Structure 1
């Protein structure tokens, strides 16, 4: 892993370009690649979230600059996501979080089919979700993200766009809220490590991978805010749906 800086720079660049433009995939892609190298799930999640502190910060700045953020939606999502993420970190560092993976794969498959069907049905009807629905969604998304090493975008962006929220502002808002989630989750992992509640064996051996993910992600982040601004809502919805289906197939393949 010490010689993997360039590889993970490329992974980070491509993953963040997709994540910033479609509202998902950075955490899932980065943690999946780490797991394929034999990294333990908790260590993979911690490494990915540490890198995401920098990449989501850059992505949030890009979306704010391009006016892709719905601040009312943000105010409901971000605090709930932080609470869910901290709780998920506790679960991951205390128990086996793999039991949730089949349910996440099923959720992605159903949501992907629903979003593609909506995109193909004709003109996209947009409606803003209520604050009452945003808080529990943010909490669940933060929990899934921490336990799975990624999942904030696939769970939150999927649900909001599937319910009719505007793709552009949804993606920008979810990406901006994710910065606060990753900071909280990273702090929770660090607290668990320092207090002795978690034995993160070998985590220092993955610093090159984390560095590569950070550099590649930060370089790609400014591009994504502009891309999502210029793509029509229907095309964006179809692209998100296809990506979600691909993630569902991949997650199912890994489980099998």
Structure 2
């Protein structure tokens, strides 16, 4: 019973983070299930089956809050589903340990870019509104879907920073579109795992508990992303990307950093992230105050000379 309660809380927390930052449901849930002792394929299958429900609930919630660009959903979601099915069916037994550091290095670079760009200058506006083309979204979807199926998570960490870095879509639209398109990825990956390993190694009670926790959190997360300012949201996403991928790199065979070095690095990243968040919040408030003052000045009626 204690395990089920813990799983429900993890499902809630994972979806709250995923729905508001566009990533981390699979990573968080997969980490816990692997810690309990589930094998990799069954873990990924369990998480993706739960994600069918959580991503559907999240997509509906984001749609109601107008956080979705449906063109992006179809252009990235369909290739993502193809990549996820291929990864789950044919490559679920292939170790991705050797590829993880390379992917983490790329994502870490994107995370630094996003954190610096949003913290120092807010939402990129020079390309805002320009279309995201299929030749960019289709390969991105294939890669993200493949990584998601073989690694137990990765749709958000791969897709969200790449689209954010393009500067062509508002952060809330990026997150809502990634969450909605993940429904297609979850269905395809689940089908692939059932074809590849069957259902005997999947604990459907765990699937249900993760699902319930995630569905409760989905509308809350969609409301949060609707009301969090883009500048602050961008800084938050950048910090999550940097921290999670720095952890992967430091623990990889490339670096294999001692525990003390890892602790120091995590602390330094957390301090820099907190400072960036505080700066973004301060600058946002300053911009809001300036805009309010300008609006009040423009709205003030011209004073005509008094007549006697």
TM-score (norm 2): 0.76
2:200 counterpart of 1:188: no
Among candidates 133, 137, 151, match of residue 136 of structure 2: 133
Deviation at 1:209, TM superposition (A): 2.9
Partner of 1:212: 209
Deviation at 1:247, TM superposition (A): 1.1
Q: RMSD of the alignment, in Å?
A: 1.7
- Contact kept? 2:89, 2:195, Cα under 8 Å: no
CA 1:226–1:6 in 2, change beyond 3 Å: closer, same or farther?
same
Partner of 1:203: 201
Aligned pairs for 1:1-256 within 5 A: 3-126=2-125, 127=128, 128=130, 129-164=132-167, 165-194=169-198, 203-204=201-202, 206-255=203-252, 256=256
Counterpart CA distance in 1 for 2:222 and 2:201 is: 32
If you compute each CA radius of gyration, which structure gives the higher value, 1 or 2? 2
- After superposing the two structures, state which structure 1 stretch, 87-96 or 235-244, moved more: 87-96
Deviation at 1:3, TM superposition (A): 4.8
Deviation at 1:75, TM superposition (A): 1.8
Counterpart CA distance in 2 for 1:40 and 1:254 is: 20
Deviation at 1:251, TM superposition (A): 2.2
Counterpart CA distance in 1 for 2:177 and 2:215 is: 18
TM-score (norm 1): 0.91
Partner of 1:197: none
Number of positions where the alignment pairs a residue of Structure 1 with one of Structure 2:
248
Instruction: Name stretches of at least 5 consecutive residues in structure 2 with no aligned partner.
Output: 257-308
Deviation at 1:39, TM superposition (A): 1.9
Counterpart CA distance in 2 for 1:139 and 1:43 is: 22
Counterpart CA distance in 2 for 1:161 and 1:192 is: 34
Partner of 2:264: none
Larger RCO (CA under 8 A, 6+ residues apart): 1
Counterpart CA distance in 1 for 2:211 and 2:94 is: 28
Instruction: Give the 4+ runs in structure 1 shifted more than 6 A.
Output: none
- Contact kept? 2:92, 2:149, Cα under 8 Å: no
